[in-house]
A and B are shown apart, each in its own frame.
Chain A
Amino acid sequence: MAEALVVRNLSKRFGGLRAVQDVSFSVREGETLALIGPNGAGKTTSFNLITGYFRPDAGSVLAFGRELVGLRPHEVCAHGLARTFQVARPFGRMTVLANVMTGAFLRHRKPDRAEMRAREVLDFVGLAARADVPARDLTTIDQRRLEMARALATDPRLLLLDEVMAGLNPAEIDQAVALVEKLSRRGLTVVVVEHVMRAVMALARHIVVLDHGQKIADGDPAEVMANEGVIRAYLGTGYAQAAASGGGAC
């Protein structure tokens, strides 16, 4: 299978903090990759580097054969990479339908075509009944659904999900996992940043582990879980290291 995303030697520092250091990994088309690691490991920063919100200090991001470094976020989206945000950011003044239509307008400029596409996506994520509700009135899980729907409405080839499971209860996590599996079965390439291990194990055949901005493991779930570095990063060699890894933006 062809490579959907190839990240090579990606680096970014914020002042003295090396948020992402020399990280490389690749995602094959149709696969679901999980990017995991303790808080502050550089997962969200990597997302922001890939999707054009930050400019890397070094490295390259190749998606479907095109270099993304230097592109603005909307250009990255137009190239087929859609993302969600860790904290859901709905357009609160709009209805749920209008939110998703805003995404659909990228490929369909006519309002009735965009509405049709938006309703399909709302159906798919299970929000059809809430279409006319103001987006700000949604519950947490519905806001996550909306984030996904809005991203899906742009007809992406690669979907980047930033902690869509955070703050959900176990039943809701199962629903969200089922939704991502459904997308994956349709052939969509998915990259998830996730803390909820249950979801990671259910979804990903390929896991990349970051710690302190560096890649410490890359492989299938069994390999990664047996990796000594991963165990050290998660469980710590002592309390001191656990405390030290708490700082920094995630």
Chain B
Amino acid sequence: MRRPRGSGGLWLGALILAMLVLPQIVSNDFAIDIFIRVLLFAFIGVAWNLIGGYARQLSLGHAAYFGLGAYTSTILQIRFGVSPWIGMPAGGIVAMLASLPIGSLCFRLRGPYFAIATIATAQVLMLLFLKFRDFAWGAEGTTIPDLGNAPLMMQFEAKSAYYYIALALLAIGLAITAWIERSWIGYYLVAVGEDEDAAEAVGVNALRIKRNIYLVSAFLTALAGTFYVQYIYFIDPNTAFSFNISVEAALVSIVGGIGTLWGPVLGTVLLEATSALLQSWLGGSHGGVQLTVYGLILIAVILWRPAGLLGVLTDVYRRLLRAGATPAKAAPIDG
């Protein structure tokens, strides 16, 4: 759970710098759009990873919080003229409040039953918002009024502005995760994910820690929802509570490395890059191909590398280190 510091800080600094200058070098809108999607889904993955990865509560209903965040800020903006900058944390709080009853219901269930229950919660919310015609525009949804360049209302002419917001969200998510990972909370989460009864035996209040981390996860996921509707200028229940969001949140973590700090980021880069490339090669005509490829990647990871892409990279890195240390010999028995 702890890793030696040192060269790590240098790499992190270089990465941050590179991410900051990236939109200045790449001016192609299509490329920036892909970067924004990567950052956003990596952020959602990071949020999911707190409860799904560290605590191993495999939620497949995070669209519930994504959608609540999206709707809260949109309703506040269109009905009450409140800036999405305020709507964003407000959506986070709404999501937290919703996560309390959802969590208290779902955390009684373990394993696949928990996952199924969380799917149901997102679906129920979608159905509710389909019915809310007067209040939330029902099935047809609504467009966000285009105010041109209005930074105070989270609207920008330049795509790079959205890029920086998404980057900031991801940085916040990663910072929170890194802090949790190193504190007692991280240990308690992994312990609960491994064996709840054994964790209770050493004084871990399993229900409370699951509920609390679920609150954080829901809050962060809702921020992503607000950002997303501001970015695409449109909201309807099928977009906001899309099952794809729930699946993608879990998938990027599992593919990248479940319960690790950088796993969701790596997983998103791989999956989004694949999907963007497929789309540009095949155009819009072959709708199912992307999902097929996702499925194949997932099968490959689960079969051969349950630790995810990060596990592969760590293995390769260790092998390189070992090869450097003992160049003449074959791999030593005791690594």
**B residues in contact with A91, CB < 8 Å:** 190-191, 194-195, 198-199
Q: Tell me which of B106-114, B180-188, B278-286, B310-318 binds A.
A: B180-188
**B residues in contact with A124, CB < 8 Å:** none
**A residues in contact with B194, CB < 8 Å:** 91-94
**B residues in contact with A102, CB < 8 Å:** 187-188, 190-191, 199, 202, 204
Contact B202–A101 (Cβ < 8 Å) = no
- Please, how many angstroms separate the alpha-carbon atoms of A72 and B196 in the complex? 12
Q: What is the 8 Å Cβ interface bit string for chain B, positions 1-44, against chain A (1 contact, 0 not)?
A: 11000000000000000000000000000000000000000000
Interface presence of A109 (CB below 8 A): yes
Contact B184–A74 (Cβ < 8 Å) = no
CB neighbors of A among B165-208 (8 A): 182-184, 187-188, 190-191, 193-195, 197-206
Contact B187–A83 (Cβ < 8 Å) = no
Interface presence of A64 (CB below 8 A): no
Contact B191–A111 (Cβ < 8 Å) = no
- Chain B contact-residue range equals 20 to 34
Contact A151–B202 (Cβ < 8 Å) = yes
- Chain A contact-residue range equals 20 to 34
* Nearest CB in chain A: distance from B189 CB, A: 10
* Nearest CB in chain B: distance from A155 CB, A: 10
Contact A103–B202 (Cβ < 8 Å) = yes
- Interface residues of B: mostly helix, strand, loop or mixed? helix
- Please, how many angstroms separate the alpha-carbon atoms of A126 and B199 in the complex? 22
Contact B183–A111 (Cβ < 8 Å) = yes
**B residues in contact with A93, CB < 8 Å:** 190, 193-194, 259
- Please, how many angstroms separate the alpha-carbon atoms of A53 and B198 in the complex? 11
- Please, how many angstroms separate the alpha-carbon atoms of A50 and B41 in the complex? 47
* Nearest CB in chain A: distance from B126 CB, A: 34
Partner of A150, one of B1, B200, B202: B202
Q: What is the 8 Å Cβ interface bit string for chain B, positions 249-269, against chain A (1 contact, 0 not)?
A: 000000000010000000000
Interface presence of A106 (CB below 8 A): yes
**A residues in contact with B190, CB < 8 Å:** 91, 93-94, 98, 102
* Nearest CB in chain A: distance from B141 CB, A: 42
- Please, how many angstroms separate the alpha-carbon atoms of A102 and B198 in the complex? 11
Interface presence of A19 (CB below 8 A): no
Instruction: Find the B residue at minimum CB distance from A109.
Output: B184
**A residues in contact with B187, CB < 8 Å:** 94, 98, 101-102, 105
Contact A94–B1 (Cβ < 8 Å) = yes
Known contacts A98-B187, A102-B187; A77 and B195 CB within 8 A of each other: no
Chain B residues within CB distance 8 Å of chain A? 1-2, 182-184, 187-188, 190-191, 193-195, 197-206, 259
What are the 10 tightest A-B residue pairs by CB atom distance, in nearest-first order?
Answer: A106-B203, A73-B200, A89-B198, A105-B184, A77-B203, A103-B202, A91-B194, A102-B187, A74-B200, A74-B205
